[in-house]
Chain A
Amino acid sequence: AAGVIQSPRHLIKEKRETATLKCYPIPRHDTVYWYQQGPGQDPQFLISFYEKMQSDKGSIPDRFSAQQFSDYHSELNMSSLELGDSALYFCASSRWGRIYNEQFFGPGTRLTVL
């Protein structure tokens, strides 16, 4: 079965640089979520999109922005990178309106800021 695809899997950037993470949801899934997981920590919700509109916002820094495109893939843009942005970034997808919110996670993008 098709799974959530994230690219790149690994990314190394310098401080103050910009990074773009991509997420391709499972076919027919219309909702995308982004989470950030710091070393040894639990995943923290950043932002979500439903039908290309932002549906919820969590602890996402103002330096970060995201969008969902017409083909439902999503991109997380991160500017003025800081050392503290080093983390595993997960994308998850689901179908909105289901009774329960079963989210399927991608393998994650490991971002290292030097």
Chain B
Amino acid sequence: GDSVTQMEGPVTLSEEAFLTINCTYTATGYPSLFWYVQYPGEGLQLLLKATKADDKGSNKGFEATYRKETTSFHLEKGSVQVSDSAVYFCALSGSNAGGTSYGKLTFGQGTILTVHP
């Protein structure tokens, strides 16, 4: 079945540092890939998405590129802020060759990001 693997362990950075959170996936067909963010005590918010190979999703300074050859969708940000502290989830939604989504999201384990001033 489909699966998503994120880098293990929390990430702690100083403000303005560079961020990378690794994400790799296993899926049949042509999945869409997502990054969701969860702030303390809140629900999941879609951060960015990519629906086909080589697509780059971007939002609020975050970027991720859909790499089919390495089955990866790593999240990056050039300069993090204290307000970026949250849990980040990589997720996929499987789809068929025609691009129609199968629906449900499969999530990675989540990565806790803490940014210090």
Q: B90-117, CB under 8 A of A: which get 1 and which 0?
A: 0001010001111111111110000000
Q: A20-49, CB under 8 A of B: which get 1 and which 0?
A: 000000000001010100000111110010
- Which among A65-73, A74-82, A95-103 touches the partner chain? A95-103
Q: Name the residue of chain A whose CB is nearest to the CB of B51.
A: A100
A107 to B38, CA, bound (A): 10
Interface membership of B44, Cβ < 8 A = yes
Instruction: List B contacts of A44 (CB < 8 A).
Output: 107
B104 and A58: CB pair below 8 A? Answer: yes
Task: Classify chain B's interface size.
Answer: 20 to 34
A101 and B105: CB pair below 8 A? Answer: yes
From A31, A43, A48, A106, contact of B107 by CB (8 A)? A43
B106 and A45: CB pair below 8 A? Answer: yes
Instruction: List B contacts of A33 (CB < 8 A).
Output: 103-105
Q: Given that A42-B89, A42-B110, A43-B89 are known contacts, is A56 also in contact with B43, CB under 8 Å in the complex?
A: no
Instruction: List A contacts of B36 (CB < 8 A).
Output: 105
A102 and B46: CB pair below 8 A? Answer: yes
A→B interface (CB under 8 Å): 31, 33, 35, 41-45, 48, 50, 55-56, 58, 90, 92, 96-108
B→A interface (CB under 8 Å): 32, 36, 42-46, 49, 51, 89, 93, 95, 99-110
